[in-house]
Amino acid sequence: MDHVTAYNATPIDLPVLVTEHFRLRPFQPDDVDWVYELSLDPAMLHWVSLPIPYERSHAQFFVENIAIARARNGTAANFVIENAATGQPLGRIGLHRKPDRAAEVGYWLAAHARGSGVMTEAVRTACRWGFSPEGMGLRRILWHALVGNVGSRKVAERAGFTIRSNTEILSWRGHPSEKWSGVLIAPQ
């Protein structure tokens, strides 16, 4: 059984989601250079599972084969977070399907936008859409981050995720590491 069949996935027609401060829009092929530049940030290389050294071909693969292709096959919804006033890309948020109407949220933000509240608002917006029948019709959204990634944890907590009290072990770049995890349940 392939990945798409496993989740009963159908193509996702990604909307543009607009808030007072930003818009979430689908990725486009011309986002490759921006993804490449953002992914060279030392914090990104430390906390996000990226190839090291990170090359432009990795950014192109992410944009074409993950962000765009996975919406087409229904396994993920990835959005660029843009400043509503300027159109400047600030970050990325994605919902990646899991079994039983669940998804895992992942996000990253440009250094100059961190601490501004943008990501918390983006996570709330993307999750609200993910739970909706017009979105992905999810029942729950999962979150995890390496222990120590305080910024990611604060975003998850502010967005309403229930953080588990115990940590789990995962393999991170070939070594066992601890991760925090949490869950957000669809409103009734």
Please choose, from the candidates 83, 68, 73, 71, the residue with its C-alpha nearest in 3D space to the C-alpha of residue 19: 83
Quick: pLDDT tens for 43-71. 988 899 888 899 999 999 999 999 999 99
Three-class SS of residue 51? coil
Ranges of the chain with pLDDT below 70: 1-8
Extended beta strands in the chain, E state: 17-18, 22-26, 76-83, 89-98, 102-109, 140-146, 162-163, 168-172, 175-185
pLDDT value, residue 12: 86
What is the average pLDDT value for the chain, to the nearest integer?
Answer: 92
DSSP 75: S
